[in-house]
Chains A and B, each alone.
Chain A
Amino acid sequence: MMTSSSLVYLIALPLSGSAILLLSGRRSDKWGHLLATALSASSFFVGLYQLSLMLGRSNSQRPISQKLFEWISVGTFNIDAGLMLDQLSICFVLLITGVGTLIHIYSISYMAHDPDRRRFFAFLNLFIAAMLLLVLGDSYLNLYVGWEGVGLASYLLIGFWNQKPAYATASKKAFVMNRIGDMGLSFAIMIAFATMGTVSFSGIKEAADHTSTGALTAVGIMLLVAAAGKSAQFPLQAWLGDAMAGPTPVSALIHAATMVTAGVYLITRSNFIFDAAPTAQLLVVIVGAITLMFGALIGTAKDDIKKALAASTMSQIGYMILAAGLGPVGYAFAIMHLLTHGFFKAGMFLGAGSVMHGMNDEVNMRKYGALRKFMPITFATFGLGYLAILGVPPFAGFYSKDMIIETAFNSGGVKGIILGCVTLLGAGITAFYMTRVMILTFTGTSRWDEEAHPHESPWLMWLPMAILAIGSVTSGYLLSHGDALVNWLSPLFESHGEHSELLSPMVVSGLALLMVAIGVAFAFIKYSLNEVDAVAPADVSIFTTIARQDLMQDRFNEAVFMRPGQALTSVLVKTDEAVIDGAVRGVGRAALGSGASLRGIQNGFVRSYAALILIGALALVAAIWVVTQ
């Protein structure tokens, strides 16, 4: 593998920005946001430069690496802090820095009136650096550092307005649920090291051939737990909805485009493990399929525009995880959907932020309506993202999502038919809830509060939205034209033989479009032809109630994990107080008590002392006499 000395700049630029902004304090309030944006952009240009170099090399020469320093060196166990840039990482690097820079630009205006804007940009830069480390690390241990870094940045940014207790709780919830996933990743690293003796990607790839399937399955399942935690997949999905407490640019960057897709990256990067562990791979598909439906169903009932989009994100990442679980045929499509989703979902989140900006931070879609006239640019960019996520040709989602549906159908047997139907149904429900969002927000009659004065956002905000909208339109075609992305990534994955073709691409596209049309029609009938209430109706079916409560995910977690956990800790606390503290305090109390009772001897009378000495001497003599007899 070729080496390079410039990879470190990708990470060092945003990291230095974060350090400067945090350390210089209020002094950098005036120019901090500009510096952060410039550093993020320069990191993007370094990424573009690396891409141009990579394009100039032959397929096998494309991956490059850089050793930073010797990290751990114990006997034969050596781990270097090293970076690796290959065809997969470069996709992520450009997505992270590209979308990241656009969102930096957007935030300059969006956060303009926030007194802590500098701190916000410092955290954004920290996130960019950590996410780049995550995708550039050349071993699971290096990845783990970035993995924890993005978790930290996510926590800091969800709780950015932590003066509101609910927001602080939301950030804590995200952190704790992520921690379960992080534990999965650390277990995966430990098992991999115990069975294969290495933690680097290249080392494990070689060692995987002569490692037992059981060990690989264990590693795979632990990696899946990690991916589920970070990517809000079932059963660790509950944090994503609450994570919308963060500022909207954060939701767009971290909780839609980049960090939540880290799980997809992890599974794709670990393809050599999952390909050798069919059980773990099957679990990946199941988790993806469940989350896909889970998120879609939640999305149909949410009135909070950001939470509806968050449910949609969960569902779309379900698609990616499902595709990644289909093996070598699916990895490239998972990444393709990840990239197109990065464009259209970030664009829609920024659009939602723009709407909120013009509506006094109102998030309830039932209080919107008829905003198309007042926010034409937001409507246009949001609408393009909407068409992309629906999968209407020729927008981005059409290429990436149809590929996943087609691959699911063709994965063979009953599994293929079930997965195909799930993905098709998911596409239909997606169409329903996204149309609902569009209708409630932009069309119909206005249902605003009196003091709302909707207006279009300044150019600093709509410019990034426009660029992302262009990406939503073109990225699918560009990535799939001539199988560009598939061929680009193919050297990384095991080549796969010809697979059976259950349904031809045309039929799949037709079915998907039919489902989308049905979903749109339902939403149109329900929300456009009928009057929409400004207050969510209370007398709804049991299914709506459940969906509004996120399919009981919080209640389930509380009943199954939180309350027993609290009971366990209270028992442990009591045990600690009674047994451990009791023993310690008992020793003290015994010393005090014996001292108090012995103190009576110390009466100050010389004669009683003399008598005690005498008794002692006599006892001593008697003892000696007894012993020597």
Chain B
Amino acid sequence: MNAANYLYLSAMLFTIGAVGVVVRRNAIVVFMCVELMLNAANLSFVTFSRINGDLNGQVIAFFTMVVAACEVVVGLAIIVTIYRSRRSASVDDASLLKR
């Protein structure tokens, strides 16, 4: 199978994720879209690893997964805390920092 197709898939996933971050209000969905973008990048790394025939890309993919896991932990904790205090998970409501 042509390796370029994986890259196209990766690009599509990244685009979906990016658009999702920009247009959706729910913090959980935004969060999932961020994950989608990270994994799209992972897919690109692995694909390039295959194309070039070395393992560097695959190693970086593992690193990304570790970082993503940490991010999930911290991010979800923040979202839950915000939800508890404001009874809302909309990112537009949490706009106090502009003042």
Residues of A near any B CB (own CB < 8 A) = 602-607, 610-611, 614
Contacts and interface: CB of A to CB of B under 8 A. Distances in A.
Nearest to A612: B22
A605 B22 contact: no
B9 interface: no
Interface in B47-99: 91-92, 94-99
B92 A607 contact: yes
A603 B22 contact: no
A605 B96 CA distance: 9
Contacts of B30: 606-607
Contact of B18 (A603, A606, A614): A614
Contacts of B94: 606
Nearest to B99: A604
Interface of B is mostly: helix
B98 A603 contact: yes
B91 to A, nearest CB: 5
A602 B22 CA distance: 16
Interface of B: 18, 21-23, 25, 30, 91-92, 94-99
B98 A607 contact: no
Nearest to A606: B91
A614 B96 CA distance: 22
19 contacts: A604-B95, A604-B96, A604-B98, A604-B99, A605-B91, A605-B92, A606-B30, A606-B91, A606-B92, A606-B94, A606-B95, A607-B21, A607-B22, A607-B23, A607-B25, A607-B92, A610-B21, A611-B22, A614-B22
Contacts of B18: 614
Contacts of A604: 95-99
A605 B21 CA distance: 12
Nearest to B98: A604
A150 B77 CA distance: 85
B47 to A, nearest CB: 18
Nearest to B18: A614
Nearest to B24: A607
A604 B91 CA distance: 10
Contacts of B21: 607, 610, 614
A85 B94 CA distance: 91
Q: Most A CB atoms within 10 A — which of B22, B91, B92, B97?
A: B22
A607 B18 CA distance: 10
A542 to B, nearest CB: 80
A610 B22 CA distance: 6
A611 B20 CA distance: 11
A242 B51 CA distance: 101
A607 B31 CA distance: 12
User: Which 3 A/B pairs are nearest by Cβ-Cβ distance?
Assistant: A604-B98, A604-B95, A606-B91
Nearest to A617: B18
Contacts of A603: 95, 98
Contacts of B25: 607
Contacts of A602: 98
A602 B95 CA distance: 10
Nearest to A608: B22
Contacts of B23: 607
A556 to B, nearest CB: 68
A159 to B, nearest CB: 61
Contacts of A605: 91-92, 95
B31 to A, nearest CB: 11
Contacts of A610: 21-22
